[in-house]
Amino acid sequence: AFTKAWEKSCSTQGKVILEVPKRLYYVKPIKLQGPCKFNHLIFDISGTIITSKSNYNDGNSNYGLTFENVDNLIVQGGGTIDGYGLDFWWSPCKFYKFKYCLPTPRVLTFHNCNKLIVRDFSVRNAQKNYITFTHCNNVKASHLTLTSSEKSATGNGIYLSHTQDIEIFNSAIKTGGGYCISIKSGTNTVKVHDIACGPGYGISIGELGSRNSEVNVTDVIVNRVKFFETLFGVRIKTIKGGSGIANNMQFENIEMNNVQNPIIIEQGYCDQNDKLCIKQKLKLEIYYSKTYGIHVTHSQDIEISNSVIGTGDDCISIVSGSKNITATDITCGPGHGISIGSLGGGHSEAHVSDVFVRRAQFYETTNGVRIKTWQGGVGEASNITFQDIEMHNVRNPIVIDQNYCARSTTPCQEQESAVQVRNVLYQNIRGTSADEVAIKFDCSHSVECEGIVLEEIDLHIHSHRRSNRHNRRDGDTEAVCRNIQFTNIGHFQTFSLLFQIFLHHENPCKLVKINHKKTDVI
């Protein structure tokens, strides 16, 4: 009946309405194909379509209800499409390894459809994907409800592949065992906003680069999304050995509620056995234009690893309310480096603690590792470690700026309050500086920086920037500091010289070297 009604509608010119009245419909896998003669067609679902209970057992692998090569289509109506996933979730093959699982169908698929509107209906109990868009263009999907009657073993809510110019909004997605929205290769110009996601796996851009493939995903904006008890929040996932680019992505105005992994970029994922993955080199890069690479605020227990970030601002920005943040194996550049701050802007209270940055490489960035607080703020930035860092022609490799302000033509006057900076370790930081001053510690006179540790620092001027200022040996850099208390200064070199500080003429540093129970003030 569906096929005959579609064939008649497809061959009709003008505006066509194909109604699915209020009743139950059991259908086997069906393709509604174009091209068609109509100017546009409304496929109005008022009833409930159940893709046949025999779909899975019959081995119809790819689809339940599919629209293919159809332009100017609207699918709407307030009804329901049921994928009858129970057959798959409780199949013996899911519990016994010796049982072969037949490929499972998607519930609703749109392939090679242009000028498409999908709205105002429900999809439930998918065996695989709830709604799939492949090779589509100019799509609006809204006011959708995607649900599972229980926690399903699989099932992505909305799945995008090789699709351009798509907007997904005002929808609730509760898939349980899959991503709310999964964005795959060949997809660009995606807008996702006003979505409630969970339970499920969150929103994913990935898996990109599988089986050494070349992939491209660009121009993705995710805005005003609420996550509820999901495994992930926003995730970018690429596979070792792949190539291509994931570019121009924004995640903003996001609310996390009991999410296990709120923000993740996983660029070293392996889809093969471990021995094969060890031999693979990372080729797929992530770039951001005129914005932060990764911006962390009011978040805890975040791990950022194995990522290449080039941006117009900070590669990683960590601001107030953040705690237990780990960043390892990061390549940063171009950009402004890794920053803790700005903190305390507008006389606000700010707190950041327990930040660990290890094995980072900076290439021609404005800053390397930077702690930046506004004058007049209050609070604390503490227990921060920068370890095993490489600098390559970085303008300001190591910076603490506790007196930041909105400078005009004249310097800002120091204020009485400031965000406390204490217990910061700089260990094994090496490479080249683009400027003669490689270390700048500008701390507040009222709230001095405390517990600053420098170990194994070896920074010298990049070969293109060397000069003979201060009668220093060619290649040496200098450090400038104010209002700072050092602890355990040792094994510090500026190229070939032993540690030396060029003290600021207004406020000399307090250099404190602790040796067991004895404290020496230099």
Q: One-letter amino acid identity for 133?
A: F
If pLDDT is split at 50, 70 and 90, which confidence band does 487 have?
low
* Number of Cβ within a 10 Å radius of residue 467: 9
> What mean pLDDT is predicted for residues 393-418?
79
User: Within a domain: residue 373?
Assistant: yes
Burial class for 204, CB neighbours closer than 10 Å (0-12, 13-18, 19+)? buried
What is the 8-class DSSP label of residue 517? T
Q: What is the CATH number of the domain that holds 315?
A: 2.160.20.10
- 504 or 25, greater pLDDT: 25
Number of domains present in the structure of the chain: 1
Looking at residue 276, its pLDDT comes to 45
For 231, 389, 509, the CA distances from 441, given in Å and listed in that order, are: 40, 18, 9
Query: Looking at 111, 295, 336, 462, which residue is catalytic?
Result: 336
- 89 or 255, greater pLDDT: 255
Range of the domain at 476: 290-522
Query: 3-state DSSP call for residue 345?
Result: helix
User: Within a domain: residue 510?
Assistant: yes
User: Within a domain: residue 469?
Assistant: yes
Looking at residue 503, its pLDDT comes to 37
Q: Which of 243, 130, 248 is nearest to 189 (CA)?
A: 248
> What mean pLDDT is predicted for residues 238-264?
87
User: Within a domain: residue 17?
Assistant: no
The backbone torsions φ and ψ at residue 311, rounded to the nearest 5 degrees and listed phi first, read -150, 170
For 185, 240, 242, 248, the CA distances from 188, given in Å and listed in that order, are: 9, 22, 18, 10
Say yes or no to pLDDT of 507 above 60: no
DSSP 417-484: ---EEEEEEEEEEEEEESSSEEEEEE--SSS-EEEEEEEEEEEEE-TTS---GGGPPTTB-EEEEESE
Looking at residue 153, its pLDDT comes to 56
- 459 or 164, greater pLDDT: 164
Q: Which of 369, 504, 519, 389 is nearest to 451 (CA)?
A: 519
Most confident segment among 357-361, 410-414, 433-437, 470-474: 357-361
DSSP 68-127: ES-EEEEEESS-EEE--THHHHT-GGGT-TTSPPPP--EEEEEES-EEEEEEEEEEE--S
Say yes or no to pLDDT of 215 above 60: yes
For 277, 385, 390, 431, the CA distances from 494, given in Å and listed in that order, are: 39, 21, 14, 10
Say yes or no to pLDDT of 325 above 80: yes
Assess contact for 447 and 407: CB atoms under 8 A. no
User: Within a domain: residue 3?
Assistant: no
Looking at residue 515, its pLDDT comes to 30
Spatial distance between the Cα atoms of 428 and 59, rounded to a whole number of angstroms: 58
462 in active site: no
User: Within a domain: residue 314?
Assistant: yes
**Each residue's pLDDT tens digit, 102-118:** 666 789 999 999 999 99
Say yes or no to pLDDT of 431 above 60: yes
Spatial distance between the Cα atoms of 368 and 503, rounded to a whole number of angstroms: 21
**Each residue's pLDDT tens digit, 3-31:** 899 999 999 999 999 999 999 998 888 99
Q: Which two tokens stand for residue 238?
A: 């690429």
User: Within a domain: residue 391?
Assistant: yes
Say yes or no to pLDDT of 290 above 70: no
CA-based torsion, 452, 401, 432, 478: positive or negative: negative
For 50, 75, 215, 240, the CA distances from 204, given in Å and listed in that order, are: 28, 25, 15, 17
Identify the H or E element spanning 275: helix 274-278
- The set of residues, in sequence order, having a beta carbon less than 8 Å from that of 408 and lying 6+ positions away, is none
Looking at residue 364, its pLDDT comes to 93
If pLDDT is split at 50, 70 and 90, which confidence band does 89 have?
low
For 129, 263, 352, 381, 419, the CA distances from 377, given in Å and listed in that order, are: 49, 27, 13, 12, 5
- The set of residues, in sequence order, having a beta carbon less than 8 Å from that of 175 and lying 6+ positions away, is 126, 130, 146, 147, 148, 152, 155, 156, 157, 199, 200, 201
- 87 or 293, greater pLDDT: 293
pTM attached to this predicted model: 0.62
**Each residue's pLDDT tens digit, 15-71:** 999 999 999 998 888 999 999 999 999 999 999 998 865 544 444 456 789 999 999
If pLDDT is split at 50, 70 and 90, which confidence band does 228 have?
very high
Q: Which two tokens stand for residue 284?
A: 């797929």
> What mean pLDDT is predicted for residues 168-177?
92
Spatial distance between the Cα atoms of 165 and 180, rounded to a whole number of angstroms: 19
For 326, 367, 421, the CA distances from 308, given in Å and listed in that order, are: 15, 16, 28
Most confident segment among 229-233, 241-245, 514-518: 229-233
Looking at residue 38, its pLDDT comes to 96
Looking at residue 205, its pLDDT comes to 94
Looking at residue 75, its pLDDT comes to 98
> What mean pLDDT is predicted for residues 107-130?
94
Looking at residue 282, its pLDDT comes to 46
User: Within a domain: residue 482?
Assistant: yes
